[in-house]
C-alpha cells in the first residue's frame, strides 16, 4: 500500500481523507477503512469509488445516510442482490439510481417499471436490461416521456434482435 495514501487516509482534516477516498489509486483495503469514517462525505466518496470491494458496498448500502446509499446504488460494482434490495427503498432518488445502474437485473427493473414515480419508470425504460415485454407495457404509460423512451428502447432492442437473427 502506498505509504503517502495511508498517511493521508488518517489525516485529521476530512477534506484530505475525502481526496484519498475519491482517488482511483486508493486500494480496496484502504477504502474499506475509510468506509467507517464518521463523515458521510467520505463514505459517499468510498461508495462512488470503482475500487471499493463488493463487500464494502454491501455494508455501505445499510448506511444511515441516504446519500451514501444512493452512491452505492450508482456504483457499477454493486452486487445485483444489493441493487434488488435498494430498489425497494423509501427514497425515490435511491430507486432512480438503481433504475439507472447498467447492472440492475431485468427482474428488478420490471418492478421499478411499476413505480408510482414517473421518473423512476422513465429511467427503468431507459435501461438496456429491461425486458422487451415490460417495454411493451410502458408504451402505454400515462406519462409521455416514459412512453417515448419505452418506444425508443423497444425499437432498438427489436433492431438488435433482427440483426442478430440475420447474422446467423
Q: Over the stretch 4-41, which tens digit does the pLDDT of each residue have? A: 888 999 999 999 999 999 999 999 999 999 999 999 99
Q: Over the stretch 67-113, which tens digit does the pLDDT of each residue have? A: 999 999 999 999 999 999 999 999 999 999 999 999 999 999 999 99
Write the CA distances from 66 to 23, 61, 63, 74, 122, integer angstroms: 22, 9, 7, 12, 22
Q: Which of 123, 65, 93, 16 is CA-nearest to residue 108?
A: 123
C-alpha cell at 103: 447492472
C-alpha cell at 165: 437473427
Q: Model pTM?
A: 0.91
> Alpha-carbon distance 149 to 48, whole Å?
27
Amino acid at each position: 500500500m502506498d505509504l503517502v495514501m495511508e498517511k493521508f487516509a488518517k489525516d485529521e482534516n476530512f477534506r484530505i481523507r475525502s481526496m484519498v477516498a475519491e482517488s482511483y489509486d486508493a486500494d480496496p483495503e484502504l477504502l474499506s477503512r475509510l468506509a467507517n469514517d464518521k463523515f458521510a462525505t467520505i463514505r459517499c466518496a468510498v461508495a462512488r469509488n470503482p475500487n471499493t470491494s463488493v463487500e464494502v458496498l454491501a455494508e455501505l448500502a445499510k448506511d444511515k445516510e441516504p446519500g451514501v446509499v444512493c452512491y452505492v446504488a450508482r456504483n457499477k460494482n454493486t452486487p445485483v442482490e444489493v441493487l434488488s434490495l435498494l430498489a425497494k427503498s423509501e427514497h425515490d432518488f435511491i430507486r432512480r439510481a438503481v433504475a439507472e445502474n447498467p447492472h440492475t437485473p431485468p427482474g428488478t427493473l420490471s418492478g421499478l417499471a411499476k413505480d408510482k414515480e414517473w421518473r423512476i419508470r422513465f429511467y427503468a425504460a431507459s435501461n438496456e436490461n429491461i425486458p422487451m415485454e415490460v417495454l411493451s407495457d410502458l408504451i402505454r404509460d400515462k406519462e409521455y416521456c416514459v412512453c417515448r423512451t419505452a418506444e425508443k428502447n423497444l425499437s432498438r432492442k427489436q433492431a438488435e434482435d433482427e440483426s442478430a437473427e440475420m447474422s446467423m
